[in-house]
A and B are shown apart, each in its own frame.
Chain A
């Protein structure tokens, strides 16, 4: 029983990170109709930036800040420098460009930093806190959860209640009409990439310390998990990303705890196949009805 509670708690924290990463995918999907296969690679670049800055200054928080900034810069550069070349008529050209980017970024990191796993330290205790005698969450897990919730609330406020958010949503759904109403769609698309890249970088930065360590491929499985979450929740639905993240995070935590970590990729694959067979539009998508 104690073990179950602990696994649920860890799963929740894990799920929050996955939800953040999936949210980043959803942001770009909604804004540009591209699944950003390079998001993991972009996020790992930012994580290296954080690692280096922390190593230089000794401050975790400066590293975190640097990662967010570099995430934004990278999002801007990738959209303006690479993704602008994607043909609007072909959904695959964006995917292929992103794959090229993955190869470039990961191999460049490999050349610069080598293949070794570097452990990342965080200024938090990672042993679980006892609540009523039951181990529940580590302080770091709590930090992750709170951060994820804060980011999601900020994004929700931005999109729901600000003029900028309204413009971004409108531009995503109806670019031409939005231009006719004076929305600078080209800028909102870029801004979507910047935001998404910042959120993705944050997710990677939160996850890497709980994994083997930092390596050019450290986010490969995060990407697959995040993609699964986005598909489970529906690529068009930020709420779906949130719920999907928690569901997948908890499920993976239970699989790890009871069956072994080695089975996680297989469980992910099974889940993905199952959702695609039963609810291809995702569990929370209302998109099909909306295109009427």
Chain B
């Protein structure tokens, strides 16, 4: 028996699971050290991480960029909210069933979009997904009997379970739930990318024609990659809905979608750790800037509100892409690497497909 071959950077399954459990435990214990507002921010980071991890795996492993992951989050959120409102029972069971329903709905939507985009490379999928996120408010108001237009759907309040109510505040409970869901998503994506399917995605990304010639069904691989990514985003949206107790198109704009791209790029395309760092930056920076501009006169503050953060993010995006395309994660790992060791190219530098030949 030969040992299974692995690409550099791939880990055995048991180690992945152990690592995931370790990180999750650290994050869960960490919630005890945070005040309610920080726990709320942690819950946001965890929810964003679901979507950005899905996005980074999509870009890094299949070379396709989606500008519509906010819309896929919204799909998961609506799936969660509508199911949760329809269920006759409550408590943790309601949350779990609604969460799964959110994942299912986003899987179906992801599958449909993936099918349309399967035969295309980067820029087309980006445009198509942009059209999806632009169409979201129209969808919500066209089917307003179910989706309630701009107001969106409210969900029932999911409080802390009775057994824990004495030790845990609501925000901490929400953060813990978000962390667990994010952990499941990230672990799932890591396992997916580390296995045979991951190899196939890389083969398709690096040279689609060659991949087809060696018997890899490139179209199906792309569709599956997009669907998996969509489910991850949907779960993130469901968690966000659980935290906010509502889902509405106004929360999932083009701007938010681009923010997810920012998180993925500044973290380092293709790196899940980078996605986590990027998500934290995307949550914390606007809050920091909001605090800095809070002292300004109302008119100026109003104009800077939101805009200044977007300006900074845009500049960050251009700078990172132009000067350090491997992002935060790349910068961190580069520093750790001994100087005389050749730069590994497998994961981060080949993230983006050369498609000159594919066209």
**Chains A and B directly touch (beta carbon < 8 Å):** yes
Which of chain A's residues 150-200 have a Cβ closer than 8 Å to chain B? none
Q: Number of B interface residues, CB 8 Å?
A: 59
Which of chain A's residues 250-288 have a Cβ closer than 8 Å to chain B? 262-266, 268-269, 272-273, 276-277, 280, 287
Contact residue among A86, A96, A97, A112 (Cβ-Cβ distance under 8 Å from B65):
A96
Contacts of A268 in B (CB 8 A): 131, 135
User: Closest Cβ of chain B: how far from A274's Cβ, in Å?
Assistant: 8
Residue A4 is within 8 A (CB to CB) of chain B in the complex: no
Which of chain A's residues 210-257 have a Cβ closer than 8 Å to chain B? 220-221, 223-224, 227-228, 231
Residue A117 is within 8 A (CB to CB) of chain B in the complex: no
Residue B117 is within 8 A (CB to CB) of chain A in the complex: yes
Residue A101 is within 8 A (CB to CB) of chain B in the complex: yes
Does A276 contact B128, Cβ atoms closer than 8 Å?
yes
CB-CB nearest in chain A for B59: A92
User: Do A277 and B115 form a contact, CB below 8 Å, given A95-B65, A95-B123, A96-B265?
Assistant: yes
User: Closest Cβ of chain B: how far from A73's Cβ, in Å?
Assistant: 19
Contact with A along B287-321 (1 / 0, CB 8 A): 00000000000000011101111110111111001
Contacts of A114 in B (CB 8 A): 302-303
Contacts of B121 in A (CB 8 A): 91
User: Do A228 and B318 form a contact, CB below 8 Å, given A89-B352, A107-B310?
Assistant: no
A125 to B302, CA, bound (A): 36
User: Do A280 and B119 form a contact, CB below 8 Å, given A262-B142, A265-B134, A268-B135?
Assistant: yes
Does A227 contact B134, Cβ atoms closer than 8 Å?
no
Does A227 contact B131, Cβ atoms closer than 8 Å?
yes
Contact with A along B262-297 (1 / 0, CB 8 A): 100100010000000000000000000000000000
Contacts of A108 in B (CB 8 A): 307, 311
Residue A111 is within 8 A (CB to CB) of chain B in the complex: yes
User: Closest Cβ of chain A: how far from B262's Cβ, in Å?
Assistant: 8
Residue B130 is within 8 A (CB to CB) of chain A in the complex: yes
CB-CB nearest in chain B for A281: B119
Which of chain A's residues 105-122 have a Cβ closer than 8 Å to chain B? 105-108, 110-112, 114
Contacts of B124 in A (CB 8 A): 231, 276, 280
A262 to B139, CA, bound (A): 9
User: Closest Cβ of chain B: how far from A24's Cβ, in Å?
Assistant: 15
Does B122 contact A266, Cβ atoms closer than 8 Å?
no
Contacts of B261 in A (CB 8 A): 96, 99
Does B126 contact A37, Cβ atoms closer than 8 Å?
yes
Contacts of B137 in A (CB 8 A): 265
Does B325 contact A104, Cβ atoms closer than 8 Å?
no
Does A220 contact B127, Cβ atoms closer than 8 Å?
no
11 residue pairs of the A-B complex, CB under 8 angstroms, read A35-B126, A85-B323, A91-B122, A97-B318, A99-B67, A103-B314, A103-B317, A105-B314, A110-B310, A114-B303, A266-B138
Partner-B contacts on A (CB < 8 A): 34-35, 37, 82, 85-87, 89-93, 95-97, 99-108, 110-112, 114, 220-221, 223-224, 227-228, 231, 262-266, 268-269, 272-273, 276-277, 280, 287, 291
Q: A95-B123, A268-B135 known; 5 other A-B pairs, CB under 8 Å?
A: A90-B354, A92-B126, A224-B131, A262-B138, A264-B138
